[in-house]
Structure 1
Amino acid sequence: MRRIVLIIALFAVLAPAVAAEASYHAASTGGIVSDLAITADGGYAVAGTGSGKIVCLRQDGTVPWNVSAGSPVTTVAVADAAGRIAAGTSAGGVLLLDGNGNRYWTANVSGGVNGLAFTGDARLLAVAAERITLFDHRGEELWNLSTLAEVRSVAFTKDGNYIVTGSDNGAVHFIGRRGNLLWQALATDAVTAVDISRVQHARSRGRAGGCRTRDRLTGHSLRDVSSPSL
């Protein structure tokens, strides 16, 4: 039986001196949603599905386009600066689309894609899979780097000069945009999410819910936050 999942999307629109207004819309993606990314202005969202579809959902609830990725979509990302959309698949496919769903290029990496990250200007795309791989906006692979374990999460610094990754073995890597490893550290378990704050700190989150903050330049641990016991 074909499984249909309805996405209930909340788009909040903020205007000067006006309280936030929110509207809810339901839209069918035609499959189980594996990941969802929303533009900064809330104008549209992009969903990736287990049935291999990349689906665009507008704020008014309409679906202007959906395209096939050829295999289950595991992760999606949007780049507000250039209106670009990236998707990764369980087969290692990486796709770059424009805002109308037209394909710029397709590439392949080793292993299923777990995470994607754009630089602010959308000229670089980092891919987390068995290795961390960097592509330019034309689809050219600039480099790839092994972290000795599958890479689960990836993020860029705001200036696009550094990349932080989290791996299955609990390793956090801080990498220059040329592929040079600057430092690495160990978390207590597999790192499922990473982020870099504006105040030069790198944060990692594990499967158990704990969060660790490190100095961006040295990798020294600054603060640990454990998940509350249930």
Structure 2
Amino acid sequence: MDRTHHEELVSFILLQVLQALKMLQGEGVESLSTNFKEFLLAYRSPSVDASYNEFPRLLFLPETLGAEIEIGGDELVGLCRYALRALCTLLHHKMDGKAPAIKLRSRFSRALSACALLLQEDKSNSLTKAKNVMELALWSDGEHFKSEQEARVWIDTARADCVDNLCRQLICDSTRQLGARERFRIEFLLSATPRSIIESQKSTMTANVK
């Protein structure tokens, strides 16, 4: 697997982790275990070789919540630290509670570094900001926006193109189901705002990469 594809895969998995953690945060969950037993990566393809080119779906296992408290076992960490540990694990970096030094290897490297720095801040909005950064890296195709107006035009155009593509696919095959990447891209286009895009772009551009 080349570096670009690997970091794209890491970015997509991390995005799903961040979205799940935001959901848990909204439900009042403040900490999780350190061994990532709350989630499972699922591939649709039964072939191991094919799965390398497939983007997996992250499944949340609600029955694991609170289990470590009952048995008095695993250490618990806050949600931002949990996400930072996931990022370090996926990129094979040491998990020491600090943002890892990420090398510039692909167009996703700077966004991953920005995400790590935001999570290290461990603020109430860190998960949201980190999620926005990863969404922009995955779905903006490397576009650079000089103003919120440019971002607004891009959002409107991308939404129109998305609807057009979905209609064409539906006409060609009414039974076709959307893949995980398609669903997350649609969610991004529906929720993105010009301000969030500009803020995410700024965070990404100021991130340090080696």
Q: TM-score range by the shorter chain?
A: under 0.3
Higher relative contact order (CA 8 A, sep 6+): 2
Q: When you count strand as a share of all residues, which structure comes out higher? A: 1
Provide TM-score, normalisation by structure 2. 0.26
